């Protein structure tokens, strides 16, 4: 369902919405039927989320329906794994296609009959040119193409050859079926495009029934027409293909779908080419399609992103007619903003160093009340244990504190979150590494809750966990996958792989968290106070909890917005 603040349903300058409204006013259509047509050859990414929100959102806005139709016209690259993943992602975004789960393969026989119809009309022919020759004959943007020597075969010969292609009598690449349009057309897509090619592969739904498969440009528009799609909403890459789709529809005399193009989503520090993403998976650069560094919806879900955050981001980006590059900080801002309202606060120490409170009773254990979420009163409070030995983050102690450093240092006081004020008296260093391994402090028993009754000022407040009660966990710190803002534009002689960030993942073991997280389950989200938002990973077990960094607390988008005002 659409969110109440969705720009798709409220933004007056939404040009797709305005076009649909005009079509309904002038009687071109009396209802709205859209479709989302993914290829089942990979996992969906954030760019697909924009298309999903538009396709399903426009149908909902006008009381129409949106079909889910898989474009399964290339059996070499397709798999049911991708089909299942795509359906899960669409449901995760909050949309449902009800009983309208369709496939281009549902229409293979009808598409074949459409091809026969064009052959009978003298508008399609079997071509024996190789793929390279067809490319050469097609010409360039400034030079017209040349007609194939096989272009003027008789209708009878084309029918016979096409039937033999269907029966599998020819090897792959031996011939193709092409539309006969205009080899001198200014739009190269109209220069006798290929309609069918031979593929000897088992299809995930039709098995070995077919040996010829329609090209996307032939299957797309006709599938829309068969389903009665009124508005075929596509990204700008298909704008130049629209005249071809319309030509097929006109020559076949079938239902005239209207195609409207919009700018695809482009994000900084991100690759959204499915081919490149598959390359990252196949070469082991990432740990799979759902690696939290990937821009796939499954990767974002695993990282801890919420449906609401992604939907709000898509709404804010809006629908444009021109390509642009969106700062990924806006997406992270939406994730952070949403999790701030829903994630429970806990204390986690990622780089622990031991603190011994020398004047605290050795066997005493106290419990402090801690607020679960200051943004949500209904979240209530929890009890956290406190004892003589605690852990704090190594960054919260400095032997020689720099200017404006308000955390723990020799002979300095600091406030423990929900606890006492402590003062550093001494520290112990490892003789080999020189690293501080233990800090000795005293506490002021009159400062429970962090308040000094004598009114003395203590500027710093740090988080901690009781060493006696802490749970050891693994934390995976994720950063952007690429080091440049636009890895799609690379220098000569380089590829996007040359801009991979070697520090996109840092794994830290031996981290310490509150005992209350012992029962955390994969998918649970928390804010580690002063650190960021974290999500329990799918690799977690009750014996070994693994947390993914979703986003740090620092909001770069908020800073960008503030500086722009």
- Quick one: DSSP state of residue 10? H
**Number of Cβ atoms within 10 Å of the Cβ of 151:** 15
77 is catalytic: no
CA distance 363 to 216: 72
Is position 178 annotated as part of the catalytic site?
no
CB 458 within 8 A of CB 422: no
Sole residue written with tokens 């994720």: 478
Provide the residue count of the chain: 565
The C-alpha angle 231, 237, 243, rounded to 5 degrees, equals 60
Alpha carbon distances (Å) from 497 to 277, 287, 338, 492:
11, 16, 32, 13
Catalytic residue among 151, 205, 264, 287: 264
The answer to whether residues 368 and 532 touch, using CB atoms and an 8 Å cutoff, is no
Phi, psi for residue 79 in degrees, rounded to 5 = -155, 150
Neighbours of 325 (CB within 10 A): 14
Q: For strands 413-416 and 389-393, give the pairing.
A: unpaired
Cα separation of 233 and 54, whole Å? 8
CB 514 within 8 A of CB 347: yes
Report the chain's C-alpha Rg in angstroms.
31
- CA–CA gap between residue 225 and residue 97 (Å, rounded): 18
**Residues 386/466, Cβ–Cβ less than 8 Å:** yes
The number of beta carbons lying within 10 Å of the beta carbon of residue 539 is: 14
**C-alpha distance across the termini of the chain, in Å:** 34
Residue of 228, 219, 319 whose CA lies nearest to 34: 228
Report yes or no: 127 and 148 within 8 Å, Cβ to Cβ: yes
Residue 484 neighbours by CB under 8 Å, 6+ apart: 269, 499
Q: Is 39:304 a contact under the CB 8 Å cutoff?
A: no
Eight-state DSSP code of residue 240: G
* 274 given a catalytic annotation: yes
Tokens of 199: 């593929």
Give 260's Cβ-side CA count (13 Å radius): 22
3 state DSSP class of 75: coil
Answer whether 118's CB lies under 8 Å from 179's CB. Answer: yes
Q: Is the dihedral of CA 375, 377, 378, 379 positive or negative?
A: positive
**Residue among 35, 191, 274, 303 flagged as catalytic:** 274
Tokens of 290: 């759902």
Q: Which of 39, 147, 239, 366 is catalytic?
A: 39
DSSP-derived 3-state class of residue 125: strand
What is the set of active-site residues? Answer: 39, 264, 274
């Amino acid at each position: 369902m659409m969110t109440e603040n969705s720009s798709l349903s409220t933004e007056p300058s939404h040009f797709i919405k305005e076009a649909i409204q005009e079509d309904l006013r002038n009687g071109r259509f009396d209802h709205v039927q859209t479709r989302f047509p993914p290829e089942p050859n990979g996992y969906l990414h954030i760019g697909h989320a924009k298309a999903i929100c538009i396709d399903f959102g426009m149908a909902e806005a006008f009381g129409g329906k949106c079909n889910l139709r898989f474009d399964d016209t290339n059996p070499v690259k397709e798999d049911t794994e991708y089909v299942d993943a795509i359906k899960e992602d669409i449901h995760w975004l909050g949309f449902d296609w009800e009983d309208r789960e369709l496939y281009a393969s549902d229409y293979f026989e009808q598409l074949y009959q459409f091809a026969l119809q064009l052959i009978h009309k003298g508008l399609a022919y079997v071509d024996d040119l190789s793929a390279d020759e067809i490319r050469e004959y097609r010409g360039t943007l400034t030079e017209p193409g040349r007609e194939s020597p096989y272009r003027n075969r008789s209708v009878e010969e084309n029918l016979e050859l096409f039937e033999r292609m269907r029966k599998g009598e020819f090897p792959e690449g031996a011939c193709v079926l092409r539309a006969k349009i205009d080899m001198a057309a200014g739009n190269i897509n109209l220069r006798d495009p290929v309609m069918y090619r031979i593929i000897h592969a088992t299809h995930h739904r039709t098995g070995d029934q077919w040996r010829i498969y329609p090209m996307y440009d032939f299957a797309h528009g006709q599938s829309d027409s068969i389903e009665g799609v009124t508005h075929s909403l596509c990204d700008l890459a298909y704008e130049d293909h629209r005249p071809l789709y319309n030509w097929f529809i006109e020559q076949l005399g079938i239902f005239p779908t209207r195609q409207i193009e919009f700018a695809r989503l482009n994000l900084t520090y991100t690759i959204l080419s499915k081919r490149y993403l598959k390359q990252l998976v196949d070469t082991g650069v990432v740990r799979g399609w759902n690696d939290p560094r990937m821009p796939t919806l499954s990767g974002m879900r695993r990282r801890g992103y919420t449906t609401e955050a992604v939907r709000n981001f898509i709404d804010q980006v809006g629908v444009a007619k021109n390509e642009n590059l969106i700062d990924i900080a806006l997406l992270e801002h939406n994730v952070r903003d949403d999790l701030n309202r829903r994630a429970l606060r806990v204390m986690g120490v990622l780089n622990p160093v031991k603190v011994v409170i020398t004047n605290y009773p050795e066997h005493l254990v106290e419990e402090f009340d801690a607020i679960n979420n200051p943004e949500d009163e209904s979240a209530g409070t929890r009890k956290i244990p406190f004892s003589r030995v605690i852990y704090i983050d190594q960054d919260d102690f400095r032997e020689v504190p720099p200017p404006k450093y308000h955390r723990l240092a020799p002979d300095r006081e600091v406030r423990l979150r929900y606890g006492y004020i402590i003062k550093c008296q001494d520290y112990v260093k490892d003789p080999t590494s020189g690293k501080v391994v233990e800090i000795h402090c005293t506490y002021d028993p009159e400062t429970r809750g962090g308040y000094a009754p004598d009114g003395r000022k203590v500027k710093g407040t740090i988080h901690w966990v009781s060493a006696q009660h802490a749970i050891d966990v693994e934390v995976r710190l994720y950063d952007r996958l690429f080091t440049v803002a636009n890895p799609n534009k690379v220098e000569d002689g380089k590829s996007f792989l040359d801009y991979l960030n070697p520090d996109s993942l840092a794994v830290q073991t031996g981290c310490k968290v509150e005992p209350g997280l012992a029962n955390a389950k994969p998918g649970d989200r928390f804010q580690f106070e002063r650190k960021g938002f974290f999500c329990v990973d799918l690799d977690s077990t009750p014996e070994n909890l693994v947390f993914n960094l979703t986003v740090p607390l620092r909001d770069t988008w908020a800073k960008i917005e503030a500086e722009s005002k």
